[in-house]
Amino acid sequence: MFSGSFKVRSVLVQFVLPHSRGSSHGQTWVIRKAYKQDFYIHMMEESYKLWTQLEEEAGVKLYRQTGLLVMGPETSDDYQLIKTNLQNNNIPTVILNRDNFNQHIPGVNLSEGHGAVVEVTAGLLYADRALRTVQGQFLKLGGTIRDNEEVTGITPGPLVTVTTPAGVYRAKSVVITAGPWTNAVLARTGLQLPLQVVKINVCYWKEKVPGTYDVKKHFPCFILTECEETKEHIYGLPANEYPGLVKICYHMGSPTDPDQRDRQTDRSDIDILQRYVARCFPGLIPVPAVVESCMYTLTPDCHFVLDYHPSHNNIVIGAGFSGHGFKFGPIIGKLLSELSLGEVPSYDLSPFTIGRFQATSKSSL
């Protein structure tokens, strides 16, 4: 998560890289500006530019435009807010109606009473490739990545002391971005945040006729804000990663311990997805062909934490990315860097403060 401007010297990671035990692995994830909140849209304007800059500097393709189909009950707040926000921010969109929907989006049944809008410039990020690229650029700029080195101790002070089994480091400032392990790391500084770690079943569904929902046939990414099967979002990406398999996932999971992720075996989300896929994707076999695992670290409002430690202003925390943080990677890196250098952050960070949890019991010193 440290990209954007280069100010970080060393990164400590507990597992050997690359690993599939956190929140950032995966071949492709969605990049979009379709949000209910203006502040995310504004951050994404710059994030797109920084991803492009990274592509140019590294000579690697990280983004593919596919468009993002947003569907939801026409009269619901969620769907209407996303649609009007896209339009008010002059983001290119195409509004679909029941008559022209299947000309543009073949092989999908639009539910009764649902609207559909396509955010044209959205698409997918080649996530694993992006991580490799960021790490490569960081090393080229003189940074150090120490993987297989778990942070086991943090002692605050004018110089923060960080301890691992391999050594002791002292730094003027430290940024903690420990994903699902955030509270385990913060416990060493006396802080706990109201974060919930959930396991996500990442489901891939086989096309009955290969190519029906393929990225090469311009099938878009999609988000469904709610449907008769669930009030949670369902999202999908076109067949691209594994030939003939479309990734469709439930945007919520069941609580888990990040050190024992796969002991969580709840499949009620998969039952919901099966019913939805059977009803609305007639070209897919409605049983997942492959299920992989990932974790979200959720805050109560699903907005990020980008803030100073309440007691130590040389410890900066980036956490709670709630299953939608990857696309913001470069801008989050820039903001955390600004905070750690004591600079005025480029964006209003009031939606991301730790103070907003004060009424919540688990945020304690």
Ligand X SMILES: Cc1cc2nc3c(=O)[nH]c(=O)nc-3n(C[C@H](O)[C@H](O)[C@H](O)COP(=O)(O)OP(=O)(O)OC[C@H]3O[C@@H](n4cnc5c(N)ncnc54)[C@H](O)[C@@H]3O)c2cc1C
Question: Under the rule (CB under 6 A), what is the footprint of ligand X?
Answer: 1, 12-15, 22-24, 29-30, 150-151, 177-181, 185, 200, 202, 249, 294-296, 321, 323-327
Q: Are 281 and 160 in contact (CB under 8 A)?
A: no
**Nearer residue to ligand X within complex by CB, 126 or 321:** 321
Q: Are 339 and 313 in contact (CB under 8 A)?
A: no
DSSP string spanning 183-204?
HHHHGGGT-B---EEEEEEEEE
Any idea how long the chain is? Answer: 365
**Nearer residue to ligand X within complex by CB, 29 or 281:** 29
* Residue 23 C-beta: closest distance to ligand X, Å: 4
**Nearer residue to ligand X within complex by CB, 95 or 168:** 168
* Residue 103 C-beta: closest distance to ligand X, Å: 27
**Nearer residue to ligand X within complex by CB, 4 or 101:** 4
Q: How far apart are CA 280 and CA 278, in angstroms?
A: 6
**Nearer residue to ligand X within complex by CB, 19 or 208:** 19
Tell me how crowded residue 270 is: count the other CB atoms within 10 A of its CB.
16
Sorted by sequence, the CB contacts under 8 Å of residue 34 that are 6+ apart come out as 68, 70, 82, 85, 86, 91, 119, 122, 223
DSSP string spanning 231-246?
SS-EEEE-B-SSTTEE
* Residue 359 C-beta: closest distance to ligand X, Å: 24
Tell me how crowded residue 61 is: count the other CB atoms within 10 A of its CB.
10
Q: Are 239 and 207 in contact (CB under 8 A)?
A: yes
* The CA-based dihedral angle spanning residues 184, 10, 42, 68, taken in that order and rounded to the nearest 10 degrees: -80
* Residue 99 C-beta: closest distance to ligand X, Å: 30
* Residue 314 C-beta: closest distance to ligand X, Å: 18
**Nearer residue to ligand X within complex by CB, 15 or 231:** 15
Reference 262, options 21, 24, 26; nearest CA is 21
116 bridge partner residues: 71, 96
**Nearer residue to ligand X within complex by CB, 107 or 325:** 325
* Residue 327 C-beta: closest distance to ligand X, Å: 3
The first and second tokens of residue 347, run together, are 């964006």
* Residue 326 C-beta: closest distance to ligand X, Å: 3
